[in-house]
Amino acid sequence: MLSYIRFADRLSAWFGKTFGWLIILMTAGMSYEVFARYFFNAPTPWALDLSFIMYGTLFMMGGAYTLSRGGHVRGDFIYRTWAPKRQALVDLVLYVLFFFPGILALIFAGWKYASRSWGYAEVSINSPAGIPIYQFKTVIVAAGILLLIQGIAQVFRCIICMRTNTWVEAEKDVEETEQVLLKQAAQSQQN
């Protein structure tokens, strides 16, 4: 189980970090649009659609990475007071009842939408440029598959935690600024 967890975490991290670079492309595209629109009075017909597509892709392909690092929002004001075994049991039940049915629905519905979209080479109806969007609908399926792979790893984490009363931590690769500041403050108080 541990080797699968590490595999899924690394796979999710690779996709999340790779698609994270879309933020640079999105920023460059929108900056070009603002510059062209306000300095040359020549708005582009493609910039808005492109920003929607890139943001949607970034959001969806980062989902598994966020799940692997425990970054999704949760209302844990009661949950965090429980013992790890109890947390794991509740998480396991919620994965089985809600997560997996939702992810499977995402994959199957996404497959239907993507295959239909590829069939007629769908373009955006909201864009005068007619930006193709069939590849974007394929991202729905890819994101669902990544979430399914990561979800299985999360179930394995729950099973291990229920046996050992300790959570299997994800590899540390990014730290929130507030956590860094708290650590620095604690170190300065110790010195």
pLDDT value for 85:
95
pLDDT at 52: 83
Full-model pTM? 0.83
pLDDT, residue 181, reads: 87
Which residue from 19, 8, 33, 34 is spatially nearest to 136, judged by alpha carbons? 19
Residue whose C-alpha is closest to residue 64's, from 154, 169, 150: 150
Q: Are 19 and 58 in contact (CB under 8 A)?
A: yes
Q: For 80-102, give the DSSP string.
A: GGS-HHHHHHHHHHHIIIIIHHH
Place of tokens 């510059």: 35
Each residue's pLDDT expressed in tens, for the chain with a length of 191 residues: 889 999 999 999 999 999 988 899 889 988 998 999 899 998 887 887 888 888 999 999 999 999 998 877 777 788 888 999 999 999 999 999 999 999 999 999 999 999 999 999 888 877 777 888 888 899 999 999 999 999 999 999 999 999 999 999 888 777 778 888 888 888 888 87
Task: Find how far residue 180's CA is from the centre of its chain.
Answer: 23
Distance CA 169, CA 4 (A): 13
Q: What sign does the CA torsion over 95, 75, 162, 90 have?
A: negative
Q: What is the pLDDT of residue 189?
A: 87
User: Which has the closest alpha carbon to 110: 133, 143, 87, 81?
Assistant: 143
Q: What is the pLDDT of residue 133?
A: 85
Q: The tokens of 93 are what?
A: 């039940």
Contact assessment for residue 9 and residue 153, using Cβ atoms and an 8 Å cutoff: yes
Q: Packing angle between helix 84-94 and helix 134-164, nearest 10 degrees? A: 140
